[in-house]
């Protein structure tokens, strides 16, 4: 079974959320590290540096913020895995493959289906480390080459947290 244009568009709308999560988490982790450092510095300076502030506020605060930072640090790997699972468990059966099919099978079929449906993504250019576009993300994270065109039918604007 070939994917229809509608199915291909849905695939990239979902994967846009995965890529957004993959991109966003490292910046959020950095922001939380900065917040934690500033809060500690502020809390232990001057009159606020009493034992009560440290034991009742700073210790629980840093424990909670460190847990959040750890979760954010793990998010890119989790997003990559989540995307692979989506492709293998949800998209592969739509292509006529068994759930859990290899990404290499999906790669070949996705290119053919995108060509048949006249669907394409924007070219990634020379910077394949730039995961803010579909072409580079699929190539670097999954080894999947997508059909690319300078006038794509699947915009990189799908990489967002809004419903499109």
Tens digits of per-residue pLDDT, 48-72?
557 777 777 888 888 999 999 999 9
pTM of the model: 0.82
The reported pLDDT for the residue numbered 62 is 87
How far is 163 from 137, CA to CA, in rounded Å?
Answer: 20
Measured in degrees and rounded to the nearest 5, phi and psi for residue 33 equal -60, -45
The reported pLDDT for the residue numbered 125 is 63
Of the two residues 116 and 40, the one the predictor is more confident about is 116
When pLDDT is averaged across residues 134-163 and rounded to a whole number, the result is 91
Of 23-27, 129-133, 151-155, give the lowest mean pLDDT range.
129-133
- What DSSP assignment string belongs to 17-60? HHHHHHHHHHHHHHHHHHHHHHHHHHHTSGGG-SHHHIIIIIHH
The reported pLDDT for the residue numbered 35 is 87
When pLDDT is averaged across residues 8-32 and rounded to a whole number, the result is 92
The reported pLDDT for the residue numbered 129 is 57
Query: What's the length of the chain?
Result: 164
């Amino acid at each position: 079974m070939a994917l229809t244009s509608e199915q291909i568009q849905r695939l990239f709308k979902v994967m846009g959320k995965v890529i957004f999560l993959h991109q966003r988490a490292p910046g959020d982790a950095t922001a939380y590290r900065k917040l934690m450092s500033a809060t500690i510095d502020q809390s232990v300076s001057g009159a606020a540096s009493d034992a009560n502030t440290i034991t009742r506020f700073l210790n629980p605060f840093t424990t909670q913020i460190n847990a959040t930072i750890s979760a954010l640090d793990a998010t890119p790997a989790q997003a990559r895995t989540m995307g692979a699972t989506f492709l293998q468990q949800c998209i592969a059966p739509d292509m006529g493959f068994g759930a859990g099919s290899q990404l290499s099978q999906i790669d070949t079929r996705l290119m053919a289906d995108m060509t048949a449906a006249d669907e394409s993504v924007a070219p990634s250019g020379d910077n394949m480390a730039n995961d803010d576009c579909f072409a580079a993300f699929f190539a670097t994270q999954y080894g999947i080459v997508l059909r690319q065109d300078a006038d794509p039918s699947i915009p990189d604007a799908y990489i967002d947290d809004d419903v499109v």
